[in-house]
Chain A
């Protein structure tokens, strides 16, 4: 009885301090979201007050409908969705196959250069290659201002990441399981799909989320590459203006709507993103 108190008492203060810090941090990170949400519900007049209000005087739910007064705004969400999804599928398929090769046959696949390939993407600001890229794409069959132009462009950023992460996941999957499958009579191709792929599935889903969110949120290249036939939602956000004045409430309402797909996806896939399926494979 006494022992319990004596030992655990010492940790109580530390824990309280930690909780207090956590609370503060939460407040700090959640405030922008809160302000975004209330702005979306304000009238235009209220958004322009010099002293900002922290609770809408009138709830202008009409903002959410007004966003779609321009019919192409909805199409932009659809385009973004299509681009992000196609790019994710491609990144995942190519990244999984390449990652497997790097994990299992590092020498034949030239694995030492993989790290450089990925890092080289971060060695300069993307804006540096913006214009060259535009001209490069302009001379390709898919050109610019098309869905495929962005799908392929985003591979430049997503594919190295997907390959790297998948390689790490494949390395964690014991090669012995594949060997056991060969001895069961499965060919390497079938063993890969039957045994190895299910093991890295949680990892694949995490990779898919990362790729999808990058492609969904990308603005810089989209702004230059597309805009007429195809528009992503990110380049629509700055267009909510009335003369020289920004319609903050509509912009925030549209942004809130644009948050729905990634948040929904995350909630749906959250439980698959938990690692640790391969626990208990070996011994234990």
Chain B
């Protein structure tokens, strides 16, 4: 059992009024064998959290358990965690094999055993052919793999990856995503992946923990984060291109509820089952969030219509920016769409895809 449980964990740097609350009442459970991503913008507290898990940072209050054992007072080396860093930190004068085997050598593992395990891991990471090379001649992607291998070789209970892909260029990153995913599928180790890049987090992790302002905002898989974000921060942070937010006002007519955009001629229908949530919440003004991939071009009787200002052709898809009244909408459309700036375009959407938030608190209402 090597799950990781954080309960009511706080981190405060400094003391008194000048203290900075970097992590606030964090409750998070990473199951045994789970791949969890810790995602958030810079300064959200994810790095402090990671450092507390590894043991590089003291915990101000709260508890961290690894497989039922409280590790608050254990030194990093006593915790059986391994960590791969953003920078590869390989020893340039060692060969790849020596680099891989080094953590075992430190622990006094016999030479043939070291060799066997290094080869095994190299196969898994597909770096067998470069075992005798030295780091300076390797590409960025190869170096990153060696560095992952070095962290993995001592078979840690918990494996932590800190922004390991931020130095790789787009094509390599893509390759690396698959490699990491496969690695996890084969090893089934508890892994925690820290990143600010939502694409990486969503692609790799079984579940993603979104942090902001020192606090956990939501934990869930892709569909939960996309379709049921707990608040406007998550709705805005997760998703690419960004969600469009529109201020709306509630209008009741003939038993049905409509949300009318303020400053634009858009009306959102509210299905009956969600109406009760709006009733329970009260108030007339809300903010509606629409994901660009949920808008479908439609010519007759569109839900909303406007003038195209930008058509960004991106090869696999196009992003349209449409202005209607004071609102700029974005829509993700097939690349075949041939709308030019100035053209008129109509869109429909499924009322269930409309996210309704409380304007003040940002919390999802329905």
The answer on direct contact between A and B (beta carbons under 8 Å) is: yes
Is B185's beta carbon under 8 Å from chain A? no
Within 8 A of B (CB), among A1-44: 1-4, 6-8
**Chain A contact residues: helix, strand, loop or mixed:** helix
B90 within 8 A of A: no
Chain A proximity of B260: nearest CB distance (Å): 45
In the bound complex, CA of A1 to CA of B58 (Å): 9
Question: In residues 23-74 of chain B, which contact A (Cβ within 8 Å)?
Answer: 58-61, 72-73
Shortest CB-to-CB span from A284 to chain B, Å, is 12
Count contacts on A: residues with CB < 8 A to the other chain: 7
A6 nearest CB neighbor, chain B only: B73
Q: B61, A1: Cβ atoms under 8 Å?
A: yes
Report chain A residues within 8 Å CB of B59: 3-4
Complex Cα distance, B72 from A2, in Å, reads 8
Task: Please determine whether A7 and B61 come into contact, CB atoms closer than 8 angstroms.
Answer: no
In the bound complex, CA of A1 to CA of B61 (Å)? 5
CB distance from B64 to the nearest CB of A (A): 9
Please name all residues of chain A whose beta carbon is closer than 8 Å to the beta carbon of B72 when the two chains form the complex. Answer: 2-3, 6
The smallest beta-carbon distance between A13 and chain B, in angstroms, is 17
| A3 CB to nearest chain B CB (Å) | 4
Question: How many Å lie between the Cα of A2 and that of B70 in the bound state?
Answer: 12
Cα A4 to Cα B57 in complex, Å, equals 9
B60: chain A residues at CB < 8 Å are: 3-4
Docked complex Cα distance between A85 and B61 (Å): 59
Residue of A with least CB distance to B55: A7
Q: Using CB atoms and an 8 Å cutoff, list the residues of chain B in contact with chain A.
A: 58-61, 72-73
- Nearest 10 pairs between A and B by C-beta? A6-B73, A3-B72, A3-B59, A7-B58, A4-B58, A3-B58, A1-B61, A3-B73, A8-B58, A2-B72
17 A-B interface contacts by CB (under 8 A): A1-B61, A2-B72, A2-B73, A3-B58, A3-B59, A3-B60, A3-B72, A3-B73, A4-B58, A4-B59, A4-B60, A6-B58, A6-B72, A6-B73, A7-B58, A7-B73, A8-B58
Known: A4-B58, A6-B58. 9 other contacts (CB 8 A): A1-B61, A2-B72, A3-B58, A3-B59, A3-B60, A6-B72, A6-B73, A7-B58, A8-B58
